[in-house]
Amino acid sequence: MSDGRWKCPTCKIEMQVRGRKLTIFMVGMQFPKHKGCELGKDIDHIDFSKLEKIG
């Protein structure tokens, strides 16, 4: 499954996935930081192959 900690290689923002619950860790308020960021999508549409698994 996709459970674990992920990082967007472009904006370096990290995300924790537990089941269908997402937690995003940001510095600053803007979210998502760039157009097309996988972290800005709902869990059914996130392409995890575009993210780095870090934990």
Partner 1 sequence: MPTTEELLEKLLELGRLEFWLDTSKYVSAMTEIGQASLDMGMWSITLAAGDSIEISFTNPSGYVWVPHYEGLRVSTGNVFEVSLIRDGKVFLYMPGVVDMDYYWSLISPYTGIIETTADLQITNNSAATEWIVGGYIGRYLTTERYRVFKEMFREAALKYDPMRPLYE
Residues forming contacts to partner 1 in the complex (CB under 8 A) are 20-32, 40-45
CB nearer to partner 1: pick between 45 and 47: 45
Closer residue to partner 1, CB minimum distance, 24 or 53: 24
CB of 50 to partner 1, least distance (A): 17
Shortest distance, position 17 Cβ to partner 1, whole Å? 10
Q: CB–CB of 40/30 below 8 Å?
A: no
Please give the Cα distance from 7 to 24 (Å, whole number): 10
Both structure tokens of 40: 């800005």
Residue type at position 2: S
